[in-house]
Amino acid sequence: MINLLSNLESGIINANVINMANVYLSGLSKKFGGVTVVDKVDVDIAHGEFIVLVGPSGCGKSTTLRMIAGLEDLTEGDIRIGDQNVNFVQPKDRDVAMVFQNYALYPHMNVYKNISISLSMRGVNRVEIDRRVKEAAAILGLEDLLKRLPKQLSGGQRQRVAMGRAIVRQPAVFLFDEPLSNLDAKLRVQMRTEIKKIHQRVATTIIYVTHDQTEAMTLADRIVVMNEGKIEQVGPPQQLYDEPKTKFVASFIGSPGMNFVGCEVVKERTMAFIKISSDVLIPLPEKYLSALDNLVGRKLELGFRPEHMTEPRSYDHGHEFEVDIDVLEPLGNDTMVYFDFGGQSCCARVLPSYATNSGTSMALELDLSMIHLVDSASNLIVRASGHA
Amino acid sequence: MTEPPLQTRRKLTTIDYICFGLVGAIIAYAVYRVSDVLVYNWNWSRVLNFVIYYDEENARYVPNLLLKGIATTLRLAFWATIVAAIIGLLMGFMRTSKNLAMRMISRCYVELIRNIPPVVFIFIFYFFLSGQLMPLIGLDDIDKNGAFVSSDIFFTLFGDPKLFSNFVAGALCLALFEGAYITEIVRAGIQSVPKGQWEAARAVGLSPLDVLGNIIFPQAVRKILPPLAGQFITLIKDSAIVSLISIQELTFLATEVASSTTKVFETWIIVGAMYFIICYSFAALFAHLEKRALKARR
């Protein structure tokens, strides 16, 4: 594994050379025939920001990226890079560089030529081309591979070459289309770190598409969660994790996803409860008390993450349950416990030592300060005010 | 799990012997029919004299009509292939263009030629070319006694200067006809390059023309060359059709030899063998070159 950090710290690529650019997407839509694949997408991306578009397959994230690159015509809306509207600008004139999922290296050219081709086509002089290629190769640890053909490279090396091809152009915006999905798990983690380091060094705007929410969480300054062509939520990773706005975001961000159980809020004298089934009542957390009247009688779902349902830890706002275990999944540092809860299969995260000693049932504690209520009709997370 | 590749057998089995026996029987029957039923008087030497004969005056063997015909056939094939390749490249690029008009023009050209019998096409185009185009570009008025025209180089490349405009018309007819097939080879070659290659090149700032010239075409060439070589061999065989418009290539001269000697079987068997030797030699050469290219690529 190359020591990227030392390469980066040696100041190989000068961040000042690279153009800075804000990217504005407003009302961006794309229809294929009668099918809308991207529906009125609005995002403002600051220069130097690392934005990740994340969502399930077919949610329109790659199409959005391709529209920014100019590889796909847009049906409606505007794309601005810097102060230029690029709706009808050729890809070569957009000052963007894209890295593809399958690398798309030119098989008849060696690594050096693959990286330098865009510069030589633009008439950059040979000395400058050589300097830039060698700088990019140094950053990416490709110095010894410059004479090789793509077929002689491993997956990780090919990915580096694809990145090198983008870096040498010194574009205003880097576009990454699921660049790590063809790599094995270990290499994916390594490359993730490298991409992050490169971004810190070159400080260019990066728009990155992935369906892997772990990748999104670790790389992004802000995440754009997409579903069925629409934006569900935009925000920093931690905010999306802690304060999801929709059931979809809550279930998509976090691994494993959030558990959801049908429930209703009931009032009994001076107390308020979340009723999951006739025999399961949970005290309504304080944050929802001000909205009690709004919640009673509504069809709701209780949402909680596996990491907030654990072995008893005496939380300040905890509630203990006895559950029947369906499946135990040891992961080494944790064990996932699958159990039936209010007629739904749910998942909790416990210490391995705790799981080993349990029989067919187990005591678990839910941290009530971390639960969410979802309005079943709109699939929106209920805010403390009681409104979805 | 994938199945292991079928092994090619080296030993002959009973079925192989039966097959050989059947083929032998068919050949023997054909020979019997020709010799007994036709009561044909074979005379090979008479026709072989038209391939090569002994010039007593200069005391050496000299190529006769049929060998000269082969030379013309190869010249025709050579020039027709070059022109057809240019037409095919141009039309092939047009066929894959985003521009509808370009696609329609090239498609009309391909469909027109593929759906007209070659004989009809050759007649139409020959009379148009020789009647209209040749006088227009001044080929009929070429100085037959000029230094270059009367040189050995000119003769090697184009044959008899007196028949030059005739030769050009024939080569162009063949080229236009074969160009349609080369167009489809080029189109298939270009379209065989993954779409991602276009996109990757455009996404790192190459213009559409740069993409085509530097990224797509070099990859397409690898797919285009083998069928193009095959098309060259087809063109050698197809060149026989221009005998209908009095181009003095192998088939035209064979017709003359057959009628003047009345040795029809001998003439056409020899001509068939000549075509076979030429085409098979080229096929073997191209197969060898392809093998070498594959080795070099590995």
- Any chain A CB within 8 A of the CB of B117? no
A318-A320-A321-A326 Cα dihedral, nearest 10 degrees: 70
**Residues near A212 by beta carbon (within 8 Å), at least 6 away in sequence:** A54, A180, A181
pLDDT tens-place string over residues A85-117: 888 887 878 888 988 888 889 888 889 989 998
Residue A178's pLDDT band, with cuts at 50, 70 and 90, is: confident
Q: A102 and B196 in contact by Cβ < 8 A?
A: yes
User: What fold is seen in the domain B60-296?
Assistant: MetI-like fold (1.10.3720)
Give chain A as a 3 state SS string.
CCCHHHHHHCCCCCHHHCCCCCEEEEEEEEEECCEEEEEEEEEEECCCCEEEEECCCCCCHHHHHHHHHCCCCCCEEEEEECCEECCCCCHHHCCEEEECCCCCCCCCCCHHHHHHHHHHHCCCCHHHHHHHHHHHHHHHCCHHHCCCCHHHCCHHHHHHHHHHHHHCCCCCEEEEECCCCCCCHHHHHHHHHHHHHHHHHHCCEEEEEECCHHHHHHHCCEEEEEECCEEEEEECHHHHHHCCCEHHHHHHCCCCCCEEEEEEEEEECCEEEEEEECCEEEECCHHHHHHHHHHECCCEEEEECHHHEECCCCCCCEEEEEEEEEEEEECCCCEEEEEEECCEEEEEEECHHHHHHCCCEEEEEEEHHHCEEEECCCCEECCCCCCC
Q: A117 and B215 in contact by Cβ < 8 A?
A: yes
Which domains are delineated in chain A?
A: 23-244 (3.40.50.300), 256-382 (2.40.50.140)
Name the residue with higher pLDDT: A143 or A224: A224
Residue B297 has what pLDDT?
A: 61
Chain B residues near residue A162 by CB distance under 8 angstroms: 200
Residue B146 has what pLDDT?
A: 67
Chain A residues near residue B298 by CB distance under 8 angstroms: none
CB-nearest to A121 from B196, B214, B222 is: B214
CB-nearest to B203 from A98, A105, A107 is: A98
Q: A92 and B206 in contact by Cβ < 8 A?
A: yes
pLDDT tens-place string over residues A272-315: 878 777 667 778 786 777 777 777 777 788 898 898 888 887 76
> How far apart are the CA of B181 and the nearest CA of chain A, in angstroms?
26
Q: Where in chain B is the domain with CATH 1.10.3720.10?
A: 60-296
Average pLDDT over residues A29-43: 86
Q: B215 and A98 in contact by Cβ < 8 A?
A: no
Nearest residue on chain A to B207, alpha-carbon basis:
A92
Chain B residues near residue A70 by CB distance under 8 angstroms: 202-203
Query: Tokens 């060698």 belong to which residue?
Result: A134
Residue B84 has what pLDDT?
A: 95
Residue A2 has what pLDDT?
A: 45
- Any chain A CB within 8 A of the CB of B296? no
The three-class DSSP label of residue B281 is helix
Residue A331's pLDDT band, with cuts at 50, 70 and 90, is: confident
Which percentage of chain A shows pLDDT scores above 70?
Answer: 90
Residue A15 has what pLDDT?
A: 45
pLDDT tens-place string over residues A44-56: 899 798 989 989 8
Residue A348's pLDDT band, with cuts at 50, 70 and 90, is: very high
pLDDT tens-place string over residues A193-216: 878 888 887 788 899 999 888 889
Say how many CA atoms lie within 13 Å of A204 toward its Cβ.
28
- Any chain A CB within 8 A of the CB of B5? no
Averaged pLDDT of chain A: 82
pLDDT tens-place string over residues A241-256: 888 988 899 988 887 8
Residues A182, A176: Cα–Cα separation, whole Å? 13
Nearest residue on chain B to A99, alpha-carbon basis:
B200
Least confident span in A3-12, A342-351, B38-47:
A3-12
Q: Are A18 and A135 in contact (CB under 8 A)?
A: no
Average pLDDT over residues A308-323: 78
> How far apart are the CA of A121 and the nearest CA of chain B, in angstroms?
7
Q: Which residues of chain B have pLDDT under 70?
A: 1-10, 38-40, 127-130, 132-134, 137-150, 162, 297-298
Residues B200, A161: Cα–Cα separation, whole Å? 12
- Any chain A CB within 8 A of the CB of B211? no
Residue A161's pLDDT band, with cuts at 50, 70 and 90, is: very high
Chain A residues near residue B201 by CB distance under 8 angstroms: 106, 117
Residue A5's pLDDT band, with cuts at 50, 70 and 90, is: very low
Radius of gyration of chain B (CA): 24
Chain B residues near residue A121 by CB distance under 8 angstroms: 205-207, 210, 214
